[in-house]
Amino acid sequence: MTGRQTHLAVLADCERALGRSERAVDMFRATDRDQLSPEEAIELLIVAAGARADLGQRDAAVAMLQVRELTSDEPWVARLRYAYADALLAVGRNEEAREWFARAAEVDEDAATDAAERLLELDGVVLDDPDEDDDFDALEEDEDEGADDSEEEDDADFDDEGELDDDADYEEEDDYEEGDEVQDDEDEDDEDEDDEDEDEDDEDEVDEDEVDEDEDDEDEDEDVAEEDDEAAADADTGEPPDKPEPTAP
């Protein structure tokens, strides 16, 4: 609404992030750079050169960045020199890239870029990253804590296994005792069955004796009835009843 185009560099960079590098280049071409401040124009130039590199046009990216502002003493020149050095390195011009990384590091008082580190990498110097050391120490501490936790868990598992074994022993003893009790109950049942068999035998013997006695009583009653009948018959005929034969002494 104000007509200012200070946001163009940000928008063009967003197009790059979305994979639409052609649009970023088109935005650079369509922009009236006279309406931009020098810093805004340089930022848009850096984004457009990066878009060219994204499209595989690395030599074109180098050519775009070869501007007279490279020799400026403005604070933003560090970013321009850094972008130019990075583009040179991408096309294999390592010596020139080292030179411009060095020149970027000279004016980068606020450490807006990592030009100094890139220069050392080209020289084969590897610096220890304190953040990486801290991360490594933290990782070691985590591993130690993890090992301690594992040992504690192993001890706990061992104790649990010991308790389970004890419980199993107790259960076996209980099962053994229950087995003895069951056996005793079975023996008692057998004894009860034997007693019942004996009682049944006794009852059978008593029943047989009673039957024999009843049969003897019936025989005696029959004999007495016969004698009475004979006596009555003799009385009717007038004959004396037969005397019983004397038994031998």
Local confidence band at 1 (pLDDT 50, 70, 90 cut-offs): very low
Query: Range with the lowest mean pLDDT among 16-25, 75-84, 214-223?
Result: 214-223
Higher per-residue pLDDT: 143 or 237:
143
Instruction: Give the pLDDT confidence score for residue 132 in this predicted structure.
Output: 56
Amino acid identity for residue 59 in this structure: D
Cα distances from 174 to residues 145, 164, 165, 184, in angstroms, run 43, 15, 14, 15
Percent pLDDT > 70 in the chain is 49
Local confidence band at 178 (pLDDT 50, 70, 90 cut-offs): low
Higher per-residue pLDDT: 170 or 31:
31
pLDDT tens readout for residues 86-144: 999 999 999 999 999 999 999 998 888 999 999 999 888 876 665 655 665 667 777 76
Cβ within 8 Å of residue 113, ≥6 positions away: 78, 79, 82, 104, 105
Q: Which residue has the tokens 């004979």?
A: 230
Domain 8-126 has CATH 3.30.930.10: no
Find the mean pLDDT for residues 167-178.
Answer: 58
- Give me the DSSP letters along 143-198: HHHHHHHHHHHHHHHHHHHHHHHHHHHHHHHHHHHHHHHHHHHHHHHHHHHHHHHH
Query: Range with the lowest mean pLDDT among 33-37, 93-97, 153-157, 163-167?
Result: 163-167
Domain boundaries, the chain: 8-126, 128-237
Find the mean pLDDT for residues 64-93.
Answer: 95
Q: Is the pLDDT of residue 231 over 90?
A: no
Enter the tokens of residue 51: 């878009």
Amino acid identity for residue 88 in this structure: L
Higher per-residue pLDDT: 64 or 162:
64
Q: How far apart are CA 18 and CA 51, in angstroms?
A: 11
Q: How far apart are CA 76 and CA 9, in angstroms?
A: 14
* Mean pLDDT across the chain: 76
Find the mean pLDDT for residues 190-216.
Answer: 61
Instruction: Give the pLDDT confidence score for residue 218 in this predicted structure.
Output: 65
Query: Residue 61's CB: how many other CB atoms inside 10 A?
Result: 25
Q: Is the pLDDT of residue 16 over 70?
A: yes
Q: Is 4 exposed, middle or buried (0-12, 13-18, 19+ CB in 10 A)?
A: exposed
Q: Is the pLDDT of residue 22 over 50?
A: yes
